[in-house]
Amino acid sequence: MFDVSEIRADFPILSREVNGKPLVYLDNGASSQKPEVVIDAITRAYKDEYANVHRGLHYLSNLATEKYESVRGIVARFLNASDENEIILNSGTTEGINMVAYAWAMEHLKQGDNIVLSVMEHHANIVPWHFLRERIGIELKWVDIDEYGNLNPQSVIDAIDKNTKLVAITHMSNVLGTIVDVKTICHAAKSLGVATLVDGSQGAVHMPVDVQEIGCDFYPITGHKLCGPTGSGAIYVKAERMEEMRPFLGGGDMIKEVHKDSIIYNDPPMKFEAGTPGIVQTIGFGVALDYMMKVGLKNIERYEAELKDYAHERLTALNWLKLQGQPDNKGGIFSFTMENAGHAHDISTILDKKGVAVRAGQHCAGPLMDHMGITASCRASFAFYNTKSEVDTLVDALHLANDLFG
């Protein structure tokens, strides 16, 4: 059974005060808080179990290697990959997408080819493709959302042409909360021989993910949004695609033999993990995913849907608050501006005085901001440890801001 008060007790930071008020942490889209089990695992890994991995034959090195390597299987289970060797461990989504750009796309795309993207993408799923535009002359094809923030899968499919080599689409918008029907897109792209990358940074946090069912080629995730440490993450790469990739970072661990005139790479996925990795971060990441799976990914999805509906009801009742996008299928991420208030930063500063942490700015989503014709918004993003009474505190704090500015 899902009991939010029990869940909250697992997160030490949730009982602290900010500016003399109980913390209401609604900046989960930027990064989530960490449960005690993860904090303990990090401490234990440094205190009792620390050594470098894959390199030594001594007890501690073997122990650290075993713990580190077990995370591959945990991620595979979390994403329902068919084989743990389809999981590359890394520092997060940004690294994952850059790896796809350098190790796969740089090898397979040529001048005149294109990549299909939505206007809702995070900069992490835009800038690496701009690198390819600048360096090899590919084209970026942008697909718009409708006035409510929906991304019609058919408009993505229709954008695919004979020069399209990759569709790179978010699973869930970090600004509007829009959940994209990535399964329909990926299956259609596959039938047209086009590769697919689904940015799972937000999607994997809020719903159970099955990469086999989605049918994507690449699915990057970020540990720090999944209750894990910063600098941890992974990317699912379908086995056939991994065979097509050339390593882009060279160094220790990714290599079997090095001679003056030749090298022999390690087998995948190790071939794509060069140098000493984030050992302790990755161990903590594995514990975080285990924790979330123990809470139950379906329980999390169900509880957050309830919370989102309640927040939607309360926020839409504020006629001076402008919600950005009200898509049909969305998660608990709300972006808004206020008619009377100046800048989003001013709103967030007032909310902060009430202990409410939200994000203000452009949310690393420049094309979406251009599309919406705004330069900044506030964003309240929920996690499974938030409550309806925290939604009420947010709404009270927004009233205060409106009174002050109004």
Ligand X SMILES: Cc1ncc(COP(=O)(O)O)c(C=O)c1O
How far is it, in rounded angstroms, from Cα 187 to Cα 167? 11
178 near ligand X, judged by CB under 6 A: no
On the question of a cis peptide bond just before residue 269, with omega within 30 degrees of 0, the verdict is yes
Q: Binding segment for ligand X among 108-116, 176-184, 195-203, 374-382 (CB under 6 A)?
A: 195-203
Shortest distance in whole angstroms from residue 123 CB to ligand X: 8
Question: Binding to ligand X by residue 273, rule CB under 6 A?
Answer: no
Among 202, 282, 324, 387, binds ligand X (CB under 6 A): 202
Residues 114-133 that bind ligand X (CB under 6 A): 122, 124-125
Catalytic site includes residue 364: yes
**If binding is defined by CB under 6 A, does position 150 make contact with ligand X?**
no
What residues between 322 and 381 interact with ligand X by CB under 6 A?
none
CB of 96 to ligand X, least distance (A): 8
HSE-CB at 63 with a 13 A cutoff on CA atoms is 10
Q: Which stretch binds ligand X (CB under 6 A): 107-115, 146-154, 180-188, 198-206?
A: 198-206
State the Cα–Cα distance between residues 355 and 215, nearest whole angstrom.
Answer: 42
Least distance (Å) between residue 308 CB and ligand X: 17
In the complex with ligand X, the residue whose CB is nearer, 52 or 362, is: 362
Please say which residue, 202 or 282, places its beta carbon nearer to ligand X: 202
Q: What CA–CA distance (Å, rounded) separates 182 from 203?
A: 10
Selecting among 216, 227, 364, 378, the annotated active-site residue is: 364
When the beta carbons of 175 and 350 are compared against ligand X, the nearer one is 175
Q: Is 170 in the site for ligand X (CB under 6 A)?
A: yes
Choice between 196 and 202, CB closer to ligand X: 202
Report d(CA 301, CA 297) in Å as an integer.
Answer: 6
Query: Which residue of 93, 324, 381, 393 would you call a contact of ligand X, by CB under 6 A?
Result: 93
Burial of 122 (0-12, 13-18, 19+ CB in 10 A): buried
**Distance between CA atoms of residues 358 and 352, nearest Å:** 8
> Does residue 199 interact with ligand X by CB under 6 A?
yes
Judged by CB, which is closer to ligand X: 74, or 235? 235
> Smaller CB distance to ligand X: residue 224 or 241?
224
Quick check: 92 binds ligand X (CB under 6 A)? yes
Which of 28, 94, 266, 393 is the binder for ligand X (CB under 6 A)?
Answer: 94
Q: Phi/psi of residue 258, each to 5°?
A: -130, 125
Say how far residue 199 (Cα) sits from the centre of its chain.
7
164 binds ligand X (CB under 6 A): no
Work out how close the CB of 198 gets to ligand X at its nearest, in angstroms, rounded to a whole number. 10
Q: Would you say 177 or 350 has its CB closer to ligand X?
A: 177
Alpha carbon of 172 to those of 110, 151, 206: distances in Å? 29, 10, 9
If one asks whether residue 174 binds ligand X (CB under 6 A), the answer comes out as yes
Give the helix ranges, DSSP H, for 80-181: 93-99, 106-108, 127-136, 153-159
Q: Contact 160/143 with Cβ under 8 angstroms?
A: no
Phi, psi at 311, each rounded to 5°: -65, -40
- Pick from 98, 114, 222, 232: which binds ligand X (CB under 6 A)? 222
DSSP 190-259: HHTT-EEEEE-TTHHHHS---HHHHT-SEEEEEGGGTTS-TT-EEEEE-HHHHHH---SS-SSSSEEEE-
Closer by beta carbon to ligand X, 99 or else 397: 99
How many residues of this chain interact with ligand X, rule: CB under 6 A? Answer: 13
Taking the complex as a whole, the smallest distance from the CB of residue 125 to ligand X amounts, in Å, to 6
**Sign (positive or negative) of CA dihedral 333, 338, 342, 348:** negative
- 117 φ, ψ (degrees, to nearest 5): -135, 160
Q: Which of 384, 332, 379, 372 is nearest to 35 (CA)?
A: 384
What residues from 20 to 79 belong to the interface with ligand X (CB under 6 A)?
none
- The C-alpha atoms of residue 15 and residue 22 are separated, in whole angstroms, by 7
User: Which are the catalytic amino acids?
Assistant: 364
Binding footprint of ligand X on the chain (CB under 6 A): 92-94, 122, 124-125, 170, 174, 199, 201-202, 222, 224
